[in-house]
A and B are shown apart, each in its own frame.
Chain A
Amino acid sequence: MKFVTYRLQKAIGRFFFGLYCSISYIFLLSPMVVVIGTSLNGPTENVEASFTFPPDSFSLYWYTQIPEGQIDALLLSFVLATVASLCGCLLGVPAALGLVRSNVPGKALISAIFRAPLQIPAIVTGIAFLQLFYWIGDLTGFYWQGSIIGLALGHIFIATPYVVGTVTAILQRFDTRLEEAAVIHGASPRRAFFRVTLPVIMPGVYAGALYAFMVSFSDVPVAIFLSSPGFVTYPVEIFFALENDFEPSLMASATLVIIICLLLLLLVQKVIGLDALLKVGGSRGVG
Chain B
Amino acid sequence: MSQRVALRNVTKRFGSVVALKTISLDIEEGEFITLLGPSGCGKTTTLRLIAGFNDPDQGQILLGDQDITNLPPQKREIGMVFQDYALFPHLTIKENIAFPLRERRTPKEKINDRVVELLELVRLPGVEERYPSELSGGQAQRISVARAVAYPPKVLLMDEPLGALDLKLREAMQLELRRIQQELQITTVFVTHDQTEAMNMSDRIAVMRNGEIEQVGTARDIYNFPQSSFVADFVGRINLLDAELLDKSGGIADLRILNDVNIRAKIATEVQSKSLCVGIRPEKLAIGRSGHEDRYDNQIPGKVVSSTFSGNLLDIFVDVGADKPFLVEQRPDQVPLEINTPVEVCWNAQDALVLSTE
Measured CB to CB, the residues of A under 8 A from B are 175, 177-178, 180-189, 191, 195-196, 199-200, 202
Please tell me if B82 contacts chain A, counting CB pairs below 8 Å.
yes
Measured CB to CB, the residues of B under 8 A from A are 51-53, 72-74, 76-80, 82, 84, 86-90, 99-100, 103-104, 147-148, 150-151, 157
Q: A178-B89, A181-B87, A181-B88 are in contact. List 5 more A-B contacts (CB 8 A).
A: A180-B51, A181-B147, A185-B100, A186-B104, A187-B103
CB distance from A68 to the nearest CB of B (A): 45
Can you list 14 pairs linking A and B with CB atoms under 8 Å apart?
A: A175-B84, A175-B86, A182-B103, A184-B51, A184-B157, A185-B80, A185-B100, A186-B99, A186-B103, A186-B104, A186-B151, A187-B99, A187-B103, A191-B103
How far apart are the CA atoms of A180 and B48 in the complex, in Å? 10
Tell whether A184 pairs with B84 under 8 Å between CB atoms, given A191-B103, A199-B90, A200-B90: no
Is the CB–CB distance between A183 and B74 below 8 Å?
Answer: yes
The 7 closest A-B pairs by CB, nearest first: A186-B103, A185-B100, A181-B86, A177-B86, A199-B90, A184-B80, A187-B103
CB distance from A205 to the nearest CB of B (A): 13
B contact residues around A182 at 8 Å (CB): 88, 99, 103
CB distance from B192 to the nearest CB of A (A): 17
CB distance from B339 to the nearest CB of A (A): 45
- The residue on A at minimum CB distance from B89 is A200
Tell whether A185 pairs with B151 under 8 Å between CB atoms, given A199-B90, A200-B89, A200-B90: yes
B contact residues around A189 at 8 Å (CB): 74
CB distance from A41 to the nearest CB of B (A): 50
Tell whether A177 pairs with B82 under 8 Å between CB atoms, given A185-B103, A185-B151, A188-B74: yes
A contact residues around B52 at 8 Å (CB): 184
Which residue of B78, B99, B104 has the most chain A CB atoms within 10 A of its CB atom? Answer: B99
How far apart are the CA atoms of A17 and B151 in the complex, in Å? 57
Tell whether A186 pairs with B100 under 8 Å between CB atoms, given A180-B53, A181-B80: yes
B contact residues around A183 at 8 Å (CB): 53, 72-74
Interface of A: prevailing SS: helix
How far apart are the CA atoms of A200 and B91 in the complex, in Å? 10
CB distance from B64 to the nearest CB of A (A): 17
Tell whether A185 pairs with B82 under 8 Å between CB atoms, given A191-B103, A199-B90: no
CB distance from B103 to the nearest CB of A (A): 3
- The residue on B at minimum CB distance from A202 is B90
Which residue of A185, A191, A200, A202 has the most chain B CB atoms within 10 A of its CB atom? Answer: A185
- The residue on B at minimum CB distance from A175 is B86
Is the CB–CB distance between B90 and A185 below 8 Å?
Answer: no
B contact residues around A195 at 8 Å (CB): 99
How far apart are the CA atoms of A186 and B153 in the complex, in Å? 10
- The residue on A at minimum CB distance from B88 is A196
How far apart are the CA atoms of A175 and B83 in the complex, in Å? 12
CB distance from B98 to the nearest CB of A (A): 10
CB distance from B57 to the nearest CB of A (A): 19
How far apart are the CA atoms of A185 and B84 in the complex, in Å? 16
Is the CB–CB distance between B78 and A184 below 8 Å?
Answer: yes
How far apart are the CA atoms of A177 and B76 in the complex, in Å? 17
Partner of B147, one of A185, A187, A199, A202: A185
CB distance from B45 to the nearest CB of A (A): 14
How far apart are the CA atoms of A195 and B72 in the complex, in Å? 18
How far apart are the CA atoms of A93 and B86 in the complex, in Å? 23
How far apart are the CA atoms of A183 and B52 in the complex, in Å? 10
Which residue of A181, A191, A199, A200 has the most chain B CB atoms within 10 A of its CB atom? Answer: A181
- The residue on A at minimum CB distance from B101 is A186
A contact residues around B76 at 8 Å (CB): 184
- The residue on B at minimum CB distance from A196 is B88
A contact residues around B151 at 8 Å (CB): 185-186
How far apart are the CA atoms of A195 and B90 in the complex, in Å? 10
CB distance from B156 to the nearest CB of A (A): 11
CB distance from A269 to the nearest CB of B (A): 19
How far apart are the CA atoms of A283 and B86 in the complex, in Å? 28
B contact residues around A188 at 8 Å (CB): 74
A contact residues around B157 at 8 Å (CB): 184
A contact residues around B86 at 8 Å (CB): 175, 177-178, 180-181
How far apart are the CA atoms of A182 and B90 in the complex, in Å? 13
A contact residues around B87 at 8 Å (CB): 181
B contact residues around A185 at 8 Å (CB): 74, 79-80, 99-100, 103, 147-148, 150-151
A contact residues around B74 at 8 Å (CB): 183-189
How far apart are the CA atoms of A235 and B80 in the complex, in Å? 55
A contact residues around B88 at 8 Å (CB): 178, 181-182, 196, 200
B contact residues around A177 at 8 Å (CB): 82, 84, 86
CB distance from B234 to the nearest CB of A (A): 27
A contact residues around B100 at 8 Å (CB): 185-186
How far apart are the CA atoms of A199 and B52 in the complex, in Å? 24
B contact residues around A184 at 8 Å (CB): 51-53, 73-74, 76, 78-80, 157
How far apart are the CA atoms of A178 and B80 in the complex, in Å? 11
CB distance from A64 to the nearest CB of B (A): 48
How far apart are the CA atoms of A141 and B80 in the complex, in Å? 60
How far apart are the CA atoms of A183 and B78 in the complex, in Å? 10
CB distance from A195 to the nearest CB of B (A): 8
